[in-house]
């Protein structure tokens, strides 16, 4: 739904609340909704939030404690089932990356799991790419490729709909659907091919990106650091960033307290704090941490980069820093690998 | 599914003031089953919660065969550690753990072991020293190099004396600033490394302390011919969760809490000494 000038996931009771013909314009440091002529419902790409806040809550209580005698009580979220409608391929890929992180076999996060299990995901093929999208180069879009319960492709004449999971199947079984004809299937393919062809940006390939770790002293890091405000917008809108901070909050009478976690960012000063020392004291080191982790470190940790090409970090960066360009510059110019 | 963030309560049995800013808390889980099931290896750590104040990473300093209790030696550096210094026998804390990968005991078995510690950062090594001393026949020569800034900073002095009387155990102490009673060396602990007669082919080095000290020691050891995969050290980074979720402790692609805190030099060589990692 459109809210506060952006597409957002919000509670919906009627299809009338969607805005026919709405599109978005996204550029480095710029996001605007535009009213187009048509009456298509999903011609926009995405707003600042992906699926992330619905599984990894921006702020939540992990447990509570009582002081005398000391006792700890679990505080798992009571999450009602929700359906997210209009999720894009890049965000489904990002969700599977977050699943791997938070539901890691050695240490699955029960809070994340509780929320995750309540999600019904209705994916939709993108019919257009925003100027900041580059999911083709990361292999994650613009057409759906798994991770959803029900898939949708919006044609001019209506919707193609298919199940992507058992849960989705139980729903599609109850709908009075007509089988798609060849012409409709062709249009579906044409639409997402066209969206792919619209893309102007691309990220270097994973093997290339691993070389970022060999270029930690490249002079271009300072060039980015001179522009970057270390505001952390990019990490907040990134659908895969997972860093969080924890802290205790005491009740006023001092008898109870709770452990709260909230999103943190590797751009914050406290992120690398150790008694009396900041491991990453300046913007250069923080931007370098973010980019090298996202594009290189993640490959060792999860077998793929932590970027699915959604381009949000480009649109929502107040100074329009573009990671595809920065990564390419560091890999291309100047100093050789060390 | 068990909640990996939820601490279990432990009761403090004993508190020892080791130096003006360092104290040791001996504790046991309130639940006997939890205490009996508590199984750790030297170099691992717990996340210790002080009611309403915070949770911090603290090494376990015992030999794993001490099954009735466990000890944490804590230095006062800030909010949480300061608060913990006020704990007394009978008080309770929350414990999650043990976490992380400890010292490479299998790799060290049968070898000469050199242990280098500097500053006040000896806690992560104490557990492995105890382990070696209690299983003397499984290891070759043992050399402990302990460096401190000021000779009065040395804790566990009697313990070092006892260890030094063991068969084929050498203890060398060094302080930058010494008082008259000091019986160790004056100078940097890293300078002592060059004077050792290490049997390079059969030695393994375990290091712990300030990173600059460890880097100097690593440079010395490598120049003496010790292989990168025989140099191991314990790292610290900001830690919120201890289980590889919160993202703070990463050094390049490694999580200190899960892949470490003990690392082999060859695993982190690309990042050691690069500011910002
Ligand atoms: C694996 C590991 C083992 C450790 N073992 C011991 C030990 O046996 N004894 C001991 O005295 N100290 C140990 N430390 C260091 C100890 O965790 C810090 O001194 C402690 O977190 C400082 O907290 P504070 O609130 O007192 O200080 P503050 O300066 O107020 O710190 C604020 C917060 O920052 C974080 N933080 C600050 N310094 C560190 C640090 N060095 N490491 C991790 N997080 C930090 C913590 O979340 C802390 O609560 C260990 C650290 C790690 C990572
Ligand atoms: S890259 Fe942009 S969004 Fe990210 S911290 Fe820097 S200024 Fe903020």
Tell me whether B244 touches chain A (CB under 8 Å). yes
B133 and B183: one domain? yes
Q: Which of B65, B99, B133 is where one domain is finished?
A: B99
End-to-end CA distance of chain B: 34
- The DSSP letter of residue A38 is S
Tell me whether A69 touches chain B (CB under 8 Å). yes
Tell me whether B53 touches chain A (CB under 8 Å). yes
B148 and B67: one domain? no
Facing residue for A246 by CB, picked from B4, B51, B55: B55
Contacts of B54 in chain A (CB under 8 A): 247-248
CA B137 from chain centre, in angstroms, equals 22
Q: How far apart are CA A161 and CA A166, in angstroms?
A: 14
CB proximity under 8 Å: A 173-192 to B: none
B75 and B119: one domain? no
DSSP A80-125: PPEEEEEE-HHHHHHHHHHHHHHT-TTS--HHHHHHHTTEEEEEE-
Residue B33 is assigned to a structural domain of this protein: yes
Report the CATH number that the domain containing residue B253 is assigned in CATH.
3.40.50.80
Helices assigned H by DSSP within chain B: 32-37, 79-84, 105-108, 123-134, 157-164, 189-194, 211-223, 265-268
Q: Ligand 2 in contact with A234 (CB < 6 A)?
A: yes
Would you state the structure tokens that stand for residue A60, as one six-digit string?
A: 């939540």
CB proximity under 8 Å: A 107-136 to B: 107-111, 113
B109 and B38: one domain? no
Q: How far apart are CA A280 and CA A221, in angstroms?
A: 14
Cis bond before residue A142 (omega within 30° of 0)? yes
Residue B274 is assigned to a structural domain of this protein: no
B178 and B236: one domain? yes
> Mean per-residue pLDDT for B147-169?
81
pLDDT at B83: 97
- Asked if A109's CB is within 8 angstroms of B77's CB, the reply is no
pLDDT at A334: 59
Q: Which of B57, B84, B99 is where one domain is finished?
A: B99
B63 and B142: one domain? no
Contacts of A301 in chain B (CB under 8 A): 253
- Domain extent for B60: 8-99
Q: Are A303 and A322 in contact (CB under 8 A)?
A: no
Would you state the structure tokens that stand for residue A266, as one six-digit string?
A: 């590797």
pLDDT at B141: 93
Length of chain A counted residue by residue: 338
Q: Ligand 1 in contact with B74 (CB < 6 A)?
A: yes
The count of C-alpha atoms lying within 13 angstroms of the C-alpha of B27, restricted to the half-sphere facing its C-beta, is 28
B179 and B87: one domain? no
Question: Which among B123, B146, B137, B112 has a CA at the least distance from the CA of B70?
Answer: B123
**pLDDT digit string, tens, across residues B182-231:** 677 777 777 888 888 888 889 999 999 989 889 999 999 999 999 999 99
Facing residue for B6 by CB, picked from A72, A254, A282: A72
Residue B276 is assigned to a structural domain of this protein: no
Would you state the structure tokens that stand for residue A107, as one six-digit string?
A: 């240490």
Those residues whose C-beta lies under 8 Å from the C-beta of residue B171, and which sit 6 or more positions away, are: B143, B144, B146, B160, B161, B163, B164
Would you state the structure tokens that stand for residue A109, as one six-digit string?
A: 């996060």
B222 and B109: one domain? yes
Question: Which among B109, B114, B129, B108 has a CA at the least distance from the CA of B61?
Answer: B129
Residue B204 is assigned to a structural domain of this protein: yes
Facing residue for A271 by CB, picked from B93, B241, B248: B248
B83 and B202: one domain? no
Distances from the Cα of B192 to the Cα of B118, B135, B187, B220, B264, angstroms = 12, 26, 8, 10, 22
pLDDT at B64: 92
Report the CATH number that the domain containing residue B85 is assigned in CATH.
2.40.30.10
Would you state the structure tokens that stand for residue A209, as one six-digit string?
A: 């990106």
- Asked if B243's CB is within 8 angstroms of A113's CB, the reply is no
Question: Which among B122, B98, B123, B103 has a CA at the least distance from the CA of B46?
Answer: B98
Backbone angles phi and psi of B207, in degrees to 5: -120, 150
Q: Ligand 2 in contact with A231 (CB < 6 A)?
A: yes
Residue B3 is assigned to a structural domain of this protein: no
Residue B2 is assigned to a structural domain of this protein: no
Question: Which among A2, A119, A120, A105 has a CA at the least distance from the CA of A57?
Answer: A119
Please give the distance, rounded to the nearest whole angstrom, from the Cα atom of residue A316 to the centre of ligand 2. Answer: 8
Tens-of-pLDDT digits for all 338 residues of chain A?
888 999 999 999 998 999 999 999 999 999 999 998 889 999 999 999 999 999 999 999 999 999 989 999 999 999 899 999 999 999 999 999 999 999 987 789 999 999 999 999 999 999 999 999 999 999 999 999 999 999 999 999 999 999 999 999 999 999 999 999 999 999 999 999 999 999 999 999 999 999 999 999 999 999 999 999 999 999 999 999 999 999 999 999 999 999 999 999 999 999 999 988 899 999 999 999 999 999 999 999 999 999 999 999 999 999 999 999 999 999 986 556 55
Distances from the Cα of B175 to the Cα of B18, B161, B186, angstroms = 18, 16, 5
Residue B240 is assigned to a structural domain of this protein: yes
**pLDDT digit string, tens, across residues A272-299:** 999 888 999 999 999 999 999 999 999 9
- Number of domains forming the structure of chain B: 2
- pLDDT category of residue B74 using cuts at 50, 70 and 90: very high
B92 and B57: one domain? yes
Q: Specify burial of residue A316 (Cβ count, 10 A radius: 0-12, 13-18, 19+).
A: buried
Residue B28 is assigned to a structural domain of this protein: yes
Specify the 3-state DSSP secondary structure of A277.
strand
pLDDT at B95: 97
Q: How far apart are CA B261 and CA B100, in angstroms?
A: 6
Question: Do the strands B112-117 and B142-150 form a parallel or antiparallel pair, or are they unpaired?
Answer: parallel
Q: Which of B99, B132, B155 is where one domain is finished?
A: B99
Question: Which among A240, A245, A266 has a CA at the least distance from the CA of A53?
Answer: A240
B129 and B217: one domain? yes
B176 and B214: one domain? yes
């Amino acid at each position: 739904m459109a809210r506060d000038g952006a597409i957002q996931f919000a509670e919906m009771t009627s299809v009338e609340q969607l805005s026919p013909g709405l599109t978005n314009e996204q550029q480095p440091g710029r996001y605007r909704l535009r009213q187009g002529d048509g009456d298509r419902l999903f011609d926009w790409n995405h707003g600042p939030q992906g699926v992330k806040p619905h599984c990894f809550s921006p702020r939540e209580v992990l447990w509570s404690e009582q002081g005398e005698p000391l006792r700890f009580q679990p505080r798992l979220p009571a999450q009602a089932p929700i359906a997210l409608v209009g999720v894009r391929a890049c965000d489904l890929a990002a969700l599977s990356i977050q699943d791997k992180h938070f539901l890691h076999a050695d240490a699955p996060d029960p809070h994340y799991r509780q929320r995750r299990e309540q999600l019904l995901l209705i994916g939709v093929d993108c019919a257009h790419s925003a100027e900041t999208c580059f999911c083709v180069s990361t292999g994650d879009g613009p057409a759906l490729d798994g991770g959803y319960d029900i898939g949708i492709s919006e044609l001019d004449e209506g919707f193609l709909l298919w199940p992507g999971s058992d849960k989705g199947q139980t729903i599609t079984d109850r709908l009075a659907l007509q089988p798609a004809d060849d012409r409709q299937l062709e249009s579906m393919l044409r639409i997402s091919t066209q969206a792919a062809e619209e893309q102007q940006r691309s990220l270097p390939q994973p093997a290339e990106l691993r070389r970022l770790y060999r270029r930690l002293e490249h002079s271009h890091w300072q060039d980015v650091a001179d522009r970057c405000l270390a505001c952390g917008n990019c990490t907040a809108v990134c659908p895969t960033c997972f860093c969080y901070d924890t802290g205790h909050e005491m009740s006023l009478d001092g008898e109870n307290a709770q452990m709260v976690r909230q999103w943190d960012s590797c751009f914050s000063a406290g992120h690398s704090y150790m008694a009396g020392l900041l491991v990453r004291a300046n913007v250069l080191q923080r931007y370098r941490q973010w980019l090298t982790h996202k594009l290189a470190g993640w490959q060792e940790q999860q077998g793929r980069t932590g970027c699915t090409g959604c381009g949000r970090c480009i649109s929502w960066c107040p100074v329009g820093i573009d990671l595809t360009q920065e990564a390419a510059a560091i890999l291309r110019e100047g100093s050789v690998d060390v | 599914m068990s909640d990996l963030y939820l601490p279990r309560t432990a009761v403090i049995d004993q508190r020892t003031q080791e130096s003006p800013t360092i104290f040791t808390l001996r504790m046991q889980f309130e639940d006997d089953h939890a205490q009996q099931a508590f199984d750790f290896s030297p170099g691992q750590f717990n996340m210790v919660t002080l009611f309403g104040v915070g949770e911090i990473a603290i090494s376990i300093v015992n030999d794993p065969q001490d099954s009735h209790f466990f000890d944490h030696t804590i230095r006062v550096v800030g909010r949480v550690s300061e608060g913990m210094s006020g704990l007394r026998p009978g008080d309770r804390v929350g414990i999650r753990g043990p976490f992380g990968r400890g010292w490479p005991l299998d790799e060290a078995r049968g070898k000469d072991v050199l242990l280098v510690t500097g500053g006040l950062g000896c806690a992560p090594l104490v557990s492995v020293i105890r382990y070696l001393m209690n299983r003397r026949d499984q290891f070759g020569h043992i050399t402990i190099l302990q460096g401190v800034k000021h000779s009065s900073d040395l804790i566990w002095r009697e313990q070092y004396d006892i260890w030094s009387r063991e068969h084929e155990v050498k203890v060398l102490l060094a302080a930058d600033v010494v008082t008259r009673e000091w019986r160790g060396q004056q100078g940097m602990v890293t300078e002592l490394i060059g004077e050792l007669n290490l049997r390079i082919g059969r030695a393994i080095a375990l290091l712990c302390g300030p990173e600059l000290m460890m880097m100097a020691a690593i440079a010395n050891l490598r120049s003496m011919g010790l292989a990168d995969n025989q140099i191991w050290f314990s790292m610290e980074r900001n830690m919120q969760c201890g289980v590889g979720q919160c993202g703070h402790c990463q050094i390049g692609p490694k999580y200190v809490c899960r892949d470490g805190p003990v690392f082999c030099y060859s695993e982190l060589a690309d990042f050691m000494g690069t500011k910002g990692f």
